[in-house]
Structure 1
Amino acid sequence: MSARRLRHAAAGLGETIRNRLPLARRTPPLASLIEGAARVGYGARGFVYLSAGALTLLAAVDLIGAAAGTGGAAGWLAEQPFGRVWLALLGLGLWAFVGWRLLQAVFDADHEGADLKGWATRAGQAASGVFYGLLAAGVFEYLDEVGEATSQAADRAESIAENQEKAALILGLPFGGLLLIAAGLVVLGVGAGNIVRAFRDDFEAALACPRAFCGTATALARIGYGARGFAYLPLGVFVVLAGLHARSGEVTTTAAALEALEAQPGGSWILGLTAAGLMAFGAFAFVEARWRRIRPPRDLKIA
């Protein structure tokens, strides 16, 4: 059976079920479900970055011990009342965002096209999906640790140790140092790409927001993407140095890399500005959750 006939058969089966089962008739169309999941996903991303930025800002003004990366939002959430419920909701929201990234990358939901620029954009969306998938898996790992007497410092030390263990495995491979350098360059490339997007992208084109608000939304996006890109740079430098020196102990996390940045002259100001930018990125994600143009593919075929 051809792919087209298979899709038509699946559509016919779905229509039959909707006609015969009262509950199925009340189920929203697939396109509406996809749009809703995507908006929930953008909201979950907004919460992660808004929380990470707020915690990092508190660290910059010495109100808490250390900066927090994207995983720090889950750690903070786990300590709140009904922590398991909030973590489960956040994890499900992030998985919804992963699903939307899959539709963007594989089925070209944003109509980026199949030229070089389109494929580059969709490759970035695929990489983003992998990142948020790992983040969502990490959120669910916290479910087993809710209520345990672990400090934020202990969680950060465990994350660093896990990253260093992975780096040691890479260094143990043939040309491991070069592989680790390449990984660091990828992180630097992601950071630089976000900074370029901050200056070049037309964020307003993807939004259906009120005209009077679009300027504010664009400003949030430019500040947020710039700060997000800058936050990746110290981590990329550490990974490259680990590959050059063949020492896995130099690999760290985003939060620890920002903390090292704070120790430099004027570091508290730089960290504070970066934190404010991450909060702007989170705020823009909430704007996307409300007003982004979501166009689910009518026909789920690989484009």
Structure 2
Amino acid sequence: MHTLPERVQICVRPSHLKAAPFVAEPYFAKRVMVAVPNILASVRTRLARLGDLGRKRSPILRKVPRLQVLIEWAARIGYGARGFVYLSVGILVLLAAMDVIGDAVGTKGALAWMASRPLGRLWSLLIGLGLAAFVMWRILQSVFDADHEGRSWTGLGTRMSQLFSAFSYAALAIAAFGLLAGAPDDVAADGVARSRDVASTVLHLPLGKWLLIGGGLTIFAIGVSNIVKAAREDFTEYLACSARLCRRVAPLARVGHVARGLAYLPLAGLVVIAGFHAEASEVTSFGAALDAVERQPAGPWVLAVTALGFVAFGAFSFIEARFRRIRPPKELKPLP
């Protein structure tokens, strides 16, 4: 009598037994979890061999730094681009508080303002590339644990915030590249219009009112987390500089994070109110929220202090661009 092959026999069951549903799914998932890292390792090995072969044969390629060095350069450029953006925001907000210019602006407003200056498209391109490099570094930090935070609750929380940061700076980089086509005539009005368009889209979704409220609460949580981070974080932990210099630059980071945190709160409140009223017209931009703060008693002083905080955050980003320990992962293997 002919016997069935082993693989076929495994699938044969007596008719009175119930077939277990989804038996193949765990097996398939396990195969995928094993296969994906192997594929990544294989691709990385092949690229490394290709790079070594190219270095042996081409004098030009021998001068190209190793991948680890290129990643470090990209990360430092990214920190510098972030510092330039926040330094620009701080200066523009300070000028608005002193009534030298019209309205205060946020990060996207600062990019649009620079794009409208001489050589604006060049600035937009350079900042967009720098921010894209910073997004790459944030992904290495969060997904591939470049900073060796580990899988503790604290480490996972840090990596999750780095992932959210990657999304936000990716949006900012896209905005910078979008300005290559030209800056809007009215930066402040354009920012408000964009925010209201997004709010209107959200309100037309199922449970849109509650989604908008949730968005406002998320902005509020981001602001509070920046303030908490300013109080608890050791910002010199990742800096490769002398103890004396670290003591001097740490206050810049604390002041900068407090300023960022407080600046988010007015916008969060306006978004939550707009959600409760289900009115997209009540939503405003980051810069317009700062303008609302300026119209309050002692508002110009509050706005000026916030602007100096943004300048401090930008300055600390330049410090990080120079002194931060950049440790690119040797293997691009995602850590859960």
Matched with 1:18 is 55
Q: What amino acid sits opposite 1:249 in the alignment?
A: S
- Which position in structure 1 is the counterpart of 2:95? 58
Structure 2 portions without partners, runs of 5+: 1-34
Alignment of 1:1-303 (within 5 A): 2-3=38-39, 4-145=41-182, 151=185, 154-303=186-335
What's the Cα RMSD here? 1.4
CA deviation profile, 1:124-153 (whole Å, cap 9, x unmatched): 11111111111111112221115xxx54xx
Write the distance in 2 (CA, Å) between the matches of 1:263 and 1:109.
44
Q: What residue identity is the alignment partner of 1:38?
A: A
Q: Per-residue displacement from partner, 1:100-141 (whole Å, max 9, x unpaired)?
A: 111111111111112222221111111111111111111122
2:121/2:182 contact within 8 Å kept: no
Shift of 1:211: 2.4
TM-score, normalised to structure 2, is 0.86
1:23 Cα shift? 1.6
**Contact 2:274–2:280 under 8 Å retained in 1:** yes
| Aligned residue type for 1:240 | V
- The two structures have a TM-score, normalised by structure 1, of 0.95
Q: AA paired with 1:14?
A: G
Contact preservation (8 Å) 2:264, 2:286: yes
One-letter identity of the residue aligned with 2:295: A
Q: State the distance in 1 between where 2:88 and 2:296 align.
A: 24
Measured against aligned partners, the alpha-carbon deviations of 1:233-255 in whole angstroms (never above 9, x if no partner) come to 11111111111111111111110
Give the match's secondary structure for 2:296: coil
How many residue pairs match? The answer is: 298
For 1:61 and 1:212, locate their aligned partners in 2 and report how far apart those are by CA, in whole Å: 35
Amino acid paired to 1:208: A
Q: Distance in 1 between matches of 2:114 and 2:205?
A: 37
SS at match of 1:203: coil
Give the Cα–Cα distance (whole angstroms) in 1 for the partners of residues 281 and 74 of structure 2: 40
Mean Cα deviation higher: 94-103 or 115-124:
115-124
- How far, CA to CA, are the matches of 1:175 and 1:197 in structure 2? 32
Provide the C-alpha distance between the structure 2 equivalents of 1:266 and 1:22, rounded to a whole number of angstroms: 64
Aligned partners of 1:113, 1:251: CA distance in 2, in Å?
39
- Runs of at least 5 residues in structure 1 that lack an aligned partner in the other structure: none
Q: CA offsets per residue over residues 205-251 of structure 1, 9 Å max, x none?
A: 11012322111210100000110111111111111111111111111
Residue 330 of structure 2: SS of its match in structure 1? coil
Aligned residue for 1:199, secondary structure, equals helix
Q: Which amino acid aligns with 1:294?
A: I
Q: Which residue matches 2:22?
A: none
State the identity as a percent: 51
The CA distance in 2 between the partners of 1:208 and 1:102, in whole Å, is 22
Contact 2:113 2:187 in 1 (8 A): no
